[in-house]
Structure 1
């Protein structure tokens, strides 16, 4: 899997359907939709579905998906890499127990 910075603009719809992984290689979910700021013409978030049940078991019970901020995106290629979501979602008492 090769991930390179692509200076050529892409259609934002090309992100839909891509798998999302954390920096540690943990599957997070699949892009279902995008959140846009029309005033600044920027993508501000990724709406994910087909979530990794282990990551979101306590946070997204019964939810069809989650919205993650686009600032978490580290790289876009065949897949999308985001900052380590696992660490960001842990409760403080879970971190102390690890």
Structure 2
């Protein structure tokens, strides 16, 4: 399965890969921001899948390899007794793509 990318009406970028579906807007140099988003999106699902068993389990204190997985763990750490890192997947993916867009 490969990444699907399309510009939507209104100039937003739609990125899809498996269960990850993003609709992204940008101001300023939209083309550069969208290129950065697409570049970072490529491989992101595979990074998460590589750590999926641990992301679905309660935190055990050992570090995660990928930056998105680390963001997910950090987000749920205060609530680790109630949720797994998967509770933070959407926000962590969004934060990672935004960081890539801003870094350009």
State if a TM-score over 0.5 links the two structures.
no
TM-score normalised to structure 2 length: 0.28
Say which structure is richer in strand: 1
TM-score normalised to structure 1 length: 0.29
**Which of 1 and 2 has higher RCO (CA within 8 Å, sep 6+)?**
1
Say which structure is richer in helix: 2
